[in-house]
Amino acid sequence: MDQLMKTKLKMAHGVTMLVVFAMMIVALKAAFDSHNLKTPPIPNMYTLHSWIGLTAAVLFGLQWISGLTVFLFPIAGPKLRANLLPFHQYYGSCIFGLVIAASWMGLLEKSIWAISDYSSKTGEGILVNVLGLMILFFGLGVTFMLSKFDKTNKEL
Ligand code: HEM
Protein backbone atom coordinates (compact mmCIF):
# COMPACT_ATOMS: atom_id res chain seq x y z
CA MET A 1 0.00 0.00 0.00
CA ASP A 2 1.48 3.38 -0.95
CA GLN A 3 1.99 6.21 1.57
CA LEU A 4 -0.82 8.42 0.18
CA MET A 5 -3.36 5.60 0.47
CA LYS A 6 -2.16 4.87 4.03
CA THR A 7 -2.57 8.54 5.02
CA LYS A 8 -6.05 8.66 3.47
CA LEU A 9 -7.11 5.53 5.37
CA LYS A 10 -5.73 6.94 8.64
CA MET A 11 -7.67 10.18 8.08
CA ALA A 12 -10.87 8.23 7.32
CA HIS A 13 -10.38 6.15 10.51
CA GLY A 14 -9.71 9.27 12.62
CA VAL A 15 -12.69 11.20 11.22
CA THR A 16 -15.05 8.20 11.62
CA MET A 17 -13.96 7.79 15.25
CA LEU A 18 -14.41 11.54 15.82
CA VAL A 19 -18.01 11.28 14.57
CA VAL A 20 -18.57 8.25 16.85
CA PHE A 21 -17.06 10.20 19.76
CA ALA A 22 -19.39 13.17 19.14
CA MET A 23 -22.41 10.81 18.97
CA MET A 24 -21.30 9.14 22.19
CA ILE A 25 -21.13 12.51 24.01
CA VAL A 26 -24.68 13.37 22.85
CA ALA A 27 -25.91 9.89 23.92
CA LEU A 28 -24.23 10.16 27.34
CA LYS A 29 -25.74 13.62 27.90
CA ALA A 30 -29.15 12.14 27.03
CA ALA A 31 -28.59 9.21 29.43
CA PHE A 32 -27.62 11.49 32.34
CA ASP A 33 -30.40 13.99 31.54
CA SER A 34 -32.94 11.15 31.56
CA HIS A 35 -31.97 10.55 35.20
CA ASN A 36 -31.29 14.11 36.43
CA LEU A 37 -34.32 15.82 34.86
CA LYS A 38 -36.85 13.30 36.14
CA THR A 39 -39.01 14.30 39.14
CA PRO A 40 -37.87 12.96 41.51
CA PRO A 41 -34.41 12.46 39.92
CA ILE A 42 -33.13 8.89 39.42
CA PRO A 43 -29.72 8.20 41.04
CA ASN A 44 -26.80 8.16 38.61
CA MET A 45 -24.34 5.36 37.92
CA TYR A 46 -25.91 2.57 39.98
CA THR A 47 -26.19 -0.15 37.30
CA LEU A 48 -23.46 -2.43 35.95
CA HIS A 49 -24.51 -1.19 32.50
CA SER A 50 -23.63 2.40 33.42
CA TRP A 51 -20.28 1.38 34.95
CA ILE A 52 -19.24 -0.67 31.90
CA GLY A 53 -20.63 2.01 29.57
CA LEU A 54 -18.74 4.87 31.23
CA THR A 55 -15.52 2.81 31.36
CA ALA A 56 -15.86 2.18 27.62
CA ALA A 57 -16.52 5.89 27.02
CA VAL A 58 -13.44 7.03 28.98
CA LEU A 59 -11.18 4.42 27.32
CA PHE A 60 -12.55 5.43 23.93
CA GLY A 61 -11.72 9.09 24.63
CA LEU A 62 -8.15 8.18 25.66
CA GLN A 63 -7.77 5.90 22.63
CA TRP A 64 -8.88 8.69 20.32
CA ILE A 65 -6.54 11.30 21.82
CA SER A 66 -3.53 8.93 21.80
CA GLY A 67 -4.34 7.86 18.22
CA LEU A 68 -4.63 11.47 17.09
CA THR A 69 -1.42 12.68 18.70
CA VAL A 70 0.76 9.66 17.98
CA PHE A 71 -0.46 8.30 14.63
CA LEU A 72 -2.20 11.07 12.73
CA PHE A 73 0.18 13.94 13.46
CA PRO A 74 3.89 13.33 13.12
CA ILE A 75 4.61 14.46 16.70
CA ALA A 76 5.89 11.05 17.76
CA GLY A 77 8.94 9.37 16.31
CA PRO A 78 8.73 6.02 14.50
CA LYS A 79 9.83 4.12 17.63
CA LEU A 80 6.97 5.45 19.78
CA ARG A 81 4.48 4.82 16.96
CA ALA A 82 5.68 1.24 16.56
CA ASN A 83 5.51 0.68 20.32
CA LEU A 84 2.03 2.13 20.67
CA LEU A 85 0.53 0.28 17.69
CA PRO A 86 -0.03 -3.12 19.42
CA PHE A 87 -1.59 -1.34 22.42
CA HIS A 88 -3.82 0.72 20.12
CA GLN A 89 -4.94 -2.47 18.34
CA TYR A 90 -5.50 -4.35 21.61
CA TYR A 91 -7.43 -1.55 23.34
CA GLY A 92 -9.43 -0.94 20.16
CA SER A 93 -10.80 -4.51 20.35
CA CYS A 94 -11.28 -4.23 24.14
CA ILE A 95 -13.30 -1.02 23.84
CA PHE A 96 -15.35 -2.57 21.03
CA GLY A 97 -16.12 -5.56 23.30
CA LEU A 98 -17.04 -3.27 26.19
CA VAL A 99 -19.41 -1.24 24.01
CA ILE A 100 -21.13 -4.44 22.83
CA ALA A 101 -21.46 -5.65 26.43
CA ALA A 102 -22.83 -2.25 27.55
CA SER A 103 -25.34 -2.24 24.68
CA TRP A 104 -26.58 -5.74 25.55
CA MET A 105 -26.92 -4.82 29.22
CA GLY A 106 -28.74 -1.59 28.34
CA LEU A 107 -31.17 -3.49 26.10
CA LEU A 108 -31.71 -6.18 28.73
CA GLU A 109 -32.30 -3.90 31.71
CA LYS A 110 -34.63 -1.64 29.74
CA SER A 111 -36.61 -4.68 28.48
CA ILE A 112 -36.98 -6.13 31.96
CA TRP A 113 -38.01 -2.76 33.45
CA ALA A 114 -40.21 -1.40 30.68
CA ILE A 115 -41.79 -4.31 28.79
CA SER A 116 -44.41 -5.65 31.17
CA ASP A 117 -45.10 -8.77 29.05
CA TYR A 118 -41.47 -9.50 28.05
CA SER A 119 -41.88 -13.16 29.04
CA SER A 120 -44.87 -13.53 26.68
CA LYS A 121 -42.60 -13.04 23.62
CA THR A 122 -44.63 -10.18 22.18
CA GLY A 123 -43.50 -7.88 19.37
CA GLU A 124 -41.59 -5.33 21.45
CA GLY A 125 -39.59 -7.94 23.36
CA ILE A 126 -38.77 -9.85 20.18
CA LEU A 127 -37.67 -6.60 18.51
CA VAL A 128 -35.23 -5.95 21.37
CA ASN A 129 -33.87 -9.50 21.16
CA VAL A 130 -33.42 -9.19 17.38
CA LEU A 131 -31.57 -5.92 17.92
CA GLY A 132 -29.30 -7.74 20.38
CA LEU A 133 -28.66 -10.48 17.81
CA MET A 134 -27.84 -7.85 15.17
CA ILE A 135 -25.27 -6.38 17.57
CA LEU A 136 -23.87 -9.92 17.98
CA PHE A 137 -23.53 -10.44 14.22
CA PHE A 138 -21.99 -7.00 13.83
CA GLY A 139 -19.47 -7.90 16.55
CA LEU A 140 -18.70 -11.26 14.92
CA GLY A 141 -18.14 -9.54 11.57
CA VAL A 142 -15.83 -6.87 12.95
CA THR A 143 -13.77 -9.27 15.08
CA PHE A 144 -13.47 -11.62 12.09
CA MET A 145 -12.07 -8.75 10.02
CA LEU A 146 -9.64 -7.91 12.84
CA SER A 147 -8.36 -11.47 13.10
CA LYS A 148 -5.33 -12.36 11.04
CA PHE A 149 -5.54 -16.15 10.90
CA ASP A 150 -1.78 -16.20 10.58
CA LYS A 151 -0.74 -19.68 9.41
CA THR A 152 2.97 -18.95 9.45
CA ASN A 153 5.34 -20.00 12.26
CA LYS A 154 2.82 -22.32 13.92
CA GLU A 155 4.12 -25.53 15.38
CA LEU A 156 1.49 -28.13 14.63
C1 HEM B 1 -28.36 -0.30 22.78
C2 HEM B 1 -27.55 0.32 23.61
C3 HEM B 1 -27.92 0.93 24.93
C4 HEM B 1 -29.11 0.96 25.61
C5 HEM B 1 -30.42 0.33 25.21
C6 HEM B 1 -28.90 1.73 26.82
C7 HEM B 1 -29.85 1.98 27.79
C8 HEM B 1 -29.66 2.70 28.95
C9 HEM B 1 -30.62 2.90 30.01
C10 HEM B 1 -32.02 2.31 30.01
C11 HEM B 1 -30.04 3.66 30.97
C12 HEM B 1 -30.68 4.14 32.30
C13 HEM B 1 -30.49 3.11 33.39
C14 HEM B 1 -29.07 2.95 33.89
O15 HEM B 1 -28.46 3.88 34.47
O16 HEM B 1 -28.50 1.85 33.70
C17 HEM B 1 -28.70 3.95 30.56
C18 HEM B 1 -27.79 4.67 31.28
C19 HEM B 1 -26.47 4.83 30.93
N20 HEM B 1 -25.87 4.39 29.79
FE21 HEM B 1 -26.73 3.25 28.34
N22 HEM B 1 -27.61 2.14 26.84
C23 HEM B 1 -26.97 1.67 25.72
C24 HEM B 1 -25.64 1.83 25.36
C25 HEM B 1 -24.73 2.52 26.11
C26 HEM B 1 -23.35 2.68 25.74
C27 HEM B 1 -22.72 2.10 24.47
C28 HEM B 1 -22.77 3.43 26.72
C29 HEM B 1 -21.38 3.91 26.80
C30 HEM B 1 -20.72 4.45 25.81
C31 HEM B 1 -23.78 3.73 27.72
C32 HEM B 1 -23.56 4.47 28.88
C33 HEM B 1 -24.53 4.74 29.84
C34 HEM B 1 -24.27 5.46 31.08
C35 HEM B 1 -22.92 6.02 31.55
C36 HEM B 1 -25.48 5.52 31.76
C37 HEM B 1 -25.73 6.12 33.16
C38 HEM B 1 -26.43 7.46 33.16
C39 HEM B 1 -26.69 7.90 34.59
O40 HEM B 1 -26.32 7.20 35.53
O41 HEM B 1 -27.30 8.98 34.77
N42 HEM B 1 -24.96 3.17 27.31
N43 HEM B 1 -28.50 3.35 29.32
Residue to mutate (ligand 1; options 50, 58, 108; most atoms within 8 A of CB): 50
Atom of ligand 1 nearest to the CA of 44: 40
In one-letter notation, the amino acid at residue 53 is G
Range of the domain at 134: 3-146
Position 145 pLDDT exceeds 80: yes
In a domain, residue 155? The reply is no
Average pLDDT, the chain: 94
In a domain, residue 152? The reply is no
The rounded distance, in Å, linking the Cα atoms of 94 and 150 is 20
> How far separated are the first and last CA of the chain, in Å rounded?
32
The rounded distance, in Å, linking the Cα atoms of 137 and 146 is 14
Q: How confident is the model at residue 155 (pLDDT cuts 50, 70, 90)?
A: low
CATH number of the domain at 36, please: 1.20.120.1770
The rounded distance, in Å, linking the Cα atoms of 151 and 153 is 7
Atom of ligand 1 nearest to the CA of 45: 40
Position 74 pLDDT exceeds 80: no
Q: How many domains does the chain have?
A: 1
**pTM greater than the 0.75 cutoff:** yes
